[in-house]
Amino acid sequence: MPVIAIVSSKGGVGKTTVTANLGGFLALAGYRVLMVDADIQPTLSSYYPFEHRAASGLYDVVTTGAIAQAISHTTLPNLDIIISDDPEGRLENWILHTPDGRIRLRRALADIDYDFVLIDTQGAIGPLQDLGVLAGDLLLSPIPPEILSAREFARGTLSMLERLRPMRLLGAPVGHLYGLCYRMDRTVDARLVANTLRQSPFAETHGGISILDTVVPATVAYREAASAQVPIHVWEPRRRGGTAPAALETMAALVRELLPQVDTAWARNPP
């Protein structure tokens, strides 16, 4: 059961959108998927409608380890979620003052039966972000192809990984990180930043990071799909015009590259 944490030390880079659409794609491909909203701003918790909303969420999962009763079911087949239920921010303080707080989510997820788990993490460095990162077997970081985001990726996200590497001694090794160029437009600056990211050796991570070939274009379809509360590949299965690939093609390419064990052949002829 791969656990994928979608991470960044910067907010507003598209983590929630990537999490929701990757979860929707895998679920409608027939895989059982659990999403975890580990952000104090519970955007993922309201991305899809509920078929059943559990009485508890992430707070109880982390503080008590009780996970089964905290799982809500969305209206999408095979797609469940643990909602963010801590608007006052109590959980971050609890994690900070509990010796094993940062690895509690990793332990709780070991007791469930899903094909994939996707964790939407907080876009700010701190105990709550550490909780999500340390629960992941692999990490996915959306990077808008503009110079400030690229600098923040190089500075903040990579320093976070180095800071957390000693946690392997507690049985929580930091997973390999994959960078995803997100909201790629057709400007020269965007292409330059994307190419620079791909060519960088990231030597300081000792091979712990890769930049994916797949890019997510900057199109209005992603906002439209979120408003309609449907996965992007359902909203845009075919190209609507322009040179950008259809969202279905983009999501299939991302899954093939990130999760090569997943069969995406069905995506060539969607229902």
pLDDT in tens, 88-144: 889 999 999 999 999 999 999 998 999 999 999 988 888 999 999 999 999 999 987
Greatest Cα pair distance, the chain, in angstroms, is 54
Share of the chain above pLDDT 70, in %: 85
Is the model's pLDDT at 205 over the cut of 50? no
Ranked by mean pLDDT, the top range of 4-18, 50-64, 198-212, 237-251 is 50-64
Tens digit of each residue's pLDDT (9 = 90 or more) over 15-29? 999 999 999 999 999
The pLDDT value given to residue 207:
53
The pLDDT-based confidence of 186 (bands split at 50, 70, 90) is low
Percentage with pLDDT > 90 across the chain = 54
The predicted structure's pLDDT at residue 149? 65
State the DSSP string of 229-270.
TS-HHHH-SS--SSSSPPHHHHHHHHHHHH-TTS--GGGGS-
Characterize 38-47 residue by residue with b for buried, 16 or more Cβ atoms within 10 angstroms of its Cβ, and e for exposed: bbbebbbbeb
Residue 190 reports pLDDT greater than 90? no
The rounded distance, in Å, linking the Cα atoms of 138 and 174 is: 8
Does this model's pTM top 0.85? My answer is: yes
pLDDT over threshold 70, residue 259: yes
Residue type, 44: L
Q: What per-residue confidence (pLDDT) applies to 234? A: 94
Give the three-class secondary structure for 252: helix
Q: Residue 271 above 60 pLDDT?
A: no
CA distance linking residue 155 with residue 153, whole number of Å: 6
- Provide the CA 154 distance to its chain's centre, in angstroms: 18
**56-78 average pLDDT score:** 94
